Amino acid sequence: MIGPSRIDEEHFRFQVWAPHATEVTLHFEGVDDARRVPLQACPRGYYEAVVGGVKPGNKYRYFLDHSQALRPDPASRYQPLSVHQASQIIDDHFEWTDSEWRGIPLEEYVIYETHVGTFTAQGTFDAVVPELQRLRDLGITALELMPVAQFPGKRNWGYDGVYPFAVQESYGGPMGLKRLVDACHHQDLAVVLDVVYNHLGPEGNYLWDYGPYFTDRYRTPWGAAINFDGPGSQEVRRFFIDNARYWIREFHIDALRLDAVHAIFDFSATHFLEELAGAVRQEANKLRRFCYLFPESDLNDARLIRSPAIGGYGLDAQWSDDFHHAIHALLTGEQTGYYQDFGTLDHLTRALKTGYTYSGDYSVFRKRPHGNSPEHNEATQFIICVQNHDQVGNRMYGDRLSQNIPFDAVKMAAGLCLLSPYLPLIFMGEEYGETAPFQFFVDHSDQELNENIRKGRKNEFAQFCWTKEPPDPLAELTFLQSKIDSSLGEAGHHGVLYRFYQELLRIRKTLPAFVHPSKKRQEIWSDSGNQTVFIRRWHRTDEAYLLFNLNRNSVETKWDRPSGEYQRILCSSDALWSEVALTEISAMHTQTQVFSTGECFSLKPYSFMVWARSGQ
């Protein structure tokens, strides 16, 4: 594998891909300041050497003859000083205690997305560990970490990383991440790591000096595109595939979330993503563990998650924005930016039925048809949410959904997401109605870059007609204001919402109709006049019925299912789920209700009910 790798107690192999250079010399720094080791040239632009007397903590850089520059290792495992300074050898020995861990099946994923720096006051991996029991009690089965690859400064969302193999120093470095993953597995929590294979950040990116990592044939919104299909691309592909293997093998990561794969440009006969999927499957088989790939894409292209046997790339489950956009536009009334493509009940029901709202339909926002059909994809191949880091953090003030809609509507949105057959994602703090914003923040040292970032953010906001002055991304206060306080979820209406989320996840995990998710075993009816959605889900002889009122007023509706006895599992408008509720729930409350076909009953504003019956 590229980078430094241990051979024995005192010997390391150093390998770097540097086809731009004709000579590469390893320079040790600090106590070994005068030590220089020339690397041997190998085929296809690699340089390597086996070096003795190397210990964890040794710092080094490479001297590239063509540029007469000392540069950190592109595959550095640790950058303790900064993105501009020396790389450091790490101690790769760790006492893992998760030898029995095999991961969890895809259908059991309930994902909790978190940003390490703002999830706790300390902002470290170790500080996340005491929170794991709370997440487990909530019903979470997988912790997703926003990118942790080394980025400039101390605060960043992580998408400006420039050392894909190095774990962010301010979070606790590689050992801190290993401790967190090990602790997660002891809580039966899988770990999803967000990785960025479509670009590198603008500061501290020295890959240009080493080889053709980038191409000017394509552009991304964040700068130069990665070279996945031009001259030298085989070694670029290897670099990122090695990276995926590294996280899975060395850090026991269970799944990788692939950032914005629509910005991975590759016209090769075998797409990079298909090659990556094959490599991860090989690694999973070798380790005898579940390992998954979750691409994010705004293309609504089901090829990502189709089998290679039918022309797909073979990835496992795709982030699907359509559900979020549909429920957000419907409940907030926002119609600017990409929300102009949403806002009706039909948009929501299409997302609930198939996973996409747009599957070849004309998009007003894009001014062209958008998407293709996901008809033959399983429900567990789509990850949906009502909030995530993008949909909150890319608002001008980072305001959360709970600040923009009534409490009852927040509960209803949660019900639509968590009781769907798709894999649900909860953004940190959502489960109790966090009041802190999640804003965009960076800590770059280049002042010209900082000004460009400020201007870029304002331009992004313009398409949503947000014209006021946004928070300064460079200000430390912007970062500090984004830190959440999970103790809010212990009392008041925040505590009610937390218990409500907990109850929804308990229903999802205990009722057979929800435990076995399938698009084919659900029926959906909607009434745009009343703004109601009726969903039937089933597994064998077990059935569940859900009725949602998305109207701000009470509505009268009819029971159009067969007459008989039904167990009422949950009613979101019950007093114990109100903002002023005093009663705590300790178990699932059910009661028998008898319905006759055509019988009328009332639903309160922004409320929903769940019934079940078995053996019919």
Mind telling me the catalytic residues? 259, 296
Asked if residues 570 and 591 have their Cβ atoms less than 8 Å apart, the reply is no
Distance CA 203, CA 533 (A): 49
Tokens of 568: 């009422």
Distance CA 538, CA 435 (A): 37
Distance CA 408, CA 362 (A): 33
Asked if residues 504 and 415 have their Cβ atoms less than 8 Å apart, the reply is yes
Q: What is the DSSP string of 180-192?
A: HHHHHHHTT-EEE
Burial 405-440 (b: 16+ CB within 10 A, else e): bebbbbbbbbbbbbbbbbbbbbbbbbbbbbebbbbb
Residue the block writes with tokens 């009852």:
408
How many other CB atoms are found less than 10 A from the CB of residue 97?
Answer: 11
Tokens of 538: 């089933």
- Secondary structure (H, E, C), 80-101: CCCCCCCEECCCCCCCCCCCCC
Strand, coil or helix: what is 307?
Answer: coil
Strand, coil or helix: what is 571?
Answer: strand
For strands 142-145 and 111-114, give the pairing: parallel
* Residue 535 buriedness (CB in 10 A; 0-12 / 13-18 / 19+): buried
